[in-house]
Structures are given as structure tokens and as C-alpha cells.
Amino acid sequence: MKLSTTLCTLIFSTPVRFLPLVALGGAVAHLSRTICINEFSIGIIGASFVGSIIISVMFIFIAPRLRVPRPVFTVASIVPIIPGKYAYLTLLSVIKMHDPDEDRSALIEAFFENGIITTSVLLAIGMGIAMPALLFYRNRPVV
């Protein structure tokens, strides 16, 4: 089981009986992203998009059977594919900019490079979670 996914689920007050499913979702998301990066040479942005689409479609079919809203599963399951390394490097370059001994041009370049990757991955994850729901639920009544 993915520990990060399970702990994040507990923060969201998800019932304990759904923890194995959320952990499975986190494992599937991380595995699908890793396979896309290593086997198909897709970049991290595209691979995160594919991983979040797989999670969203998976829980579109599972959540109604359990009579639970889909975001209970999808929000916690995407935690393993959030780009922590790039977000950390973005903030680290901002902190190091205040040091007079550091090369500011390299730090500004690192800030923008890592910041753009972080933002792009987060947008790809959000779109990957939302798009399948828009396609599957488009004939549902609003009220």
C-alpha cells in the first residue's frame, strides 16, 4: 500500500473501510506514471496526465457502486504523482537568491524551469481528473 496516499486519506476524513481502495488508486497512479516515463519515454507532464486519467476513469466506475462521491478516492489517489521534487527545487532557488555568494542568473533560471514544470504537472493532473468526468457525466441532469 502507498503510505503517502493512505495518510493523506486520513487527513481528508475518509472512512477507514475505503483505505485499501485509495491506496490501490495511489499505487495505480504511481505505477502508470512510472511506466509511461520509463517504457514509453513520455515526459513527466504527459505521464502525470495519463496517470490521473486512469485514476479518474477507474473511480468513475467504482465510486457509484460503493455509493461514495468520486473525489473521496481521486483526490487522495493523486498524491503520489504530485511533483514534490520540482516544487522543492523551485522554493530552494528562491531561498538561495538571498545569499550574496550564489549565482543569481542560474537561480532565476532554475526557479522558472522548475516552477513551469511544477505548474504544468499540477495542471495536467487537474485536467486528467476532470476530463473523464466531463465525458462520462455530460448527460446527467444538473439538479
| DSSP H helical ranges for the chain | 3-11, 19-38, 44-66, 71-77, 84-96, 104-136
pLDDT at 7: 77
Instruction: State the virtual CA torsion across 137, 54, 124, 133 in degrees, nearest 10.
Output: 10
pLDDT at 133: 87
Residue 56 CA to residue 53 CA, distance in Å, equals: 5
pLDDT at 76: 87
pLDDT (tens, 9 = 90+) of the chain, 143 residues, equals 467 777 777 787 788 889 899 989 999 999 999 999 999 999 999 999 999 999 999 999 999 999 999 998 998 899 889 989 999 999 999 999 988 888 899 999 999 999 999 999 999 999 999 999 888 877 777 66
pLDDT at 142: 67
- What letter does residue 141 receive in the DSSP assignment? -
Residue of 32, 26, 25, 24 lying closest to 48 (CA atoms): 32
Question: Count of CB atoms within 10 A of residue 134's CB?
Answer: 10
Instruction: Please tell me the pTM assigned to this model.
Output: 0.88
pLDDT at 2: 61
Residue 60 CA to residue 48 CA, distance in Å, equals: 18
Residue 89 CA to residue 72 CA, distance in Å, equals: 30
